[in-house]
Amino acid sequence: MKENTKLIISIFCIAFIVRFLFLLIMPQFFDGMFGFRDDWIYLTYAKNIISQGIWVPDVTKMDLEIFGKPYNAHVVGPGWPLIISLIILLFGENIQLIMFINVILSSLTCIVIYYLGKEVFNKKIGIISSFWSIIYIYFLIYIPRILKESILQLLIPLVILLMVYEIKKVKLNMVTILFPLTFTFLIHTDERYLIFLPIIFIGLMACDNINMKNGLKKFAVFMTSVIVLSIPWTIRNYVVYNKIVVLTVRTERVINPILKKINNYNIIHNINGEIGKDLSKEYPDNERYEVFDRRLLSYSENGDYPLTFLDAVNEVFQRFKIYWAPMVLRESIYRGVTMSAGSLKYNFGGMFSFGIILPFFIIGSFICFKKNRLGTIMIFFILIQTILHVLPLQTLIMWPRYRYPIDSLIITIAFYGLYQLMHANLIKRQVSNIKSLFSILYGSRI
| Residue 293: C-alpha distances to residues 141, 267, 282, 297 (Å) | 48, 15, 15, 6
Q: What average pLDDT is seen over the chain?
A: 82
38: in domain: no
Separation of alpha carbons 312 and 391, rounded Å: 9
Which amino acid appears at position 247 of this protein? Answer: L
pLDDT band at residue 267 using 50, 70 and 90 as cut-offs: very low
> Is the separation of the CB atoms in 265 and 306 below 8 Å?
yes
Q: What is the pLDDT of residue 198?
A: 95
394: in domain: yes
364: in domain: yes
Q: Which residues contact 370 (CB under 8 A, 6 or more apart)?
A: none
Q: What is the pLDDT of residue 1?
A: 47
pLDDT, tens digit, 9 for 90 and up, residues 18-42 = 999 999 887 655 544 445 678 889 9
234: in domain: no
For the segment 408-422, the average pLDDT, to the nearest whole number, is: 94
Query: Is 239 a residue whose pLDDT tops 50?
Result: yes
Q: Which residues contact 406 (CB under 8 A, 6 or more apart)?
A: 156, 381, 382, 385
Which amino acid appears at position 130 of this protein? Answer: S
Q: What is the pLDDT of residue 182?
A: 97
66 half-sphere exposure, CB direction, 13 A CA radius: 15
pLDDT band at residue 47 using 50, 70 and 90 as cut-offs: very high
Which amino acid appears at position 347 of this protein? Answer: N
pLDDT band at residue 286 using 50, 70 and 90 as cut-offs: very low
pLDDT band at residue 273 using 50, 70 and 90 as cut-offs: very low
Q: Which residues contact 347 (CB under 8 A, 6 or more apart)?
A: 327, 328, 329
338: in domain: yes
> Is the dihedral angle over the CA atoms 28, 30, 33, 37 positive or is it negative?
positive
322: in domain: yes
Q: Which domain holds residue 440?
A: 308-446
> How many domains in the chain?
1
399 vs 144, which has greater pLDDT? 144
Name the DSSP class of 69: E
Q: Which of these ranges, 173-177, 337-341, 370-374, has the smallest mean pLDDT?
A: 337-341
Rounded to the nearest angstrom, the gap between the alpha carbon of residue 123 and the centroid of all alpha carbons in its chain is 24
pLDDT, tens digit, 9 for 90 and up, residues 63-119 = 888 777 788 888 899 999 999 999 999 998 888 899 999 999 999 999 999 999 999
Q: What is the pLDDT of residue 336?
A: 53
Q: Quick one: which of 419, 304, 297, 410 has its CA closest to 358? A: 410
> Is the dihedral angle over the CA atoms 226, 229, 231, 234 positive or is it negative?
negative
Q: Which of these ranges, 29-38, 123-132, 334-343, has the smallest mean pLDDT?
A: 29-38
Q: What is the pLDDT of residue 92?
A: 87
410 vs 394, which has greater pLDDT? 410
Separation of alpha carbons 367 and 286, rounded Å: 50
Percentage of residues of the chain with pLDDT beyond 90: 49
Largest CA distance in the chain: 89
Instruction: Write b or e for each residue in 200-232: b if 16 or more Cβ atoms lie within 10 A of its Cβ, otherwise e.
Output: beebbbebbeeeeebbebbbebbeebbeebbee
346 vs 395, which has greater pLDDT? 346
195: in domain: no
43: in domain: no
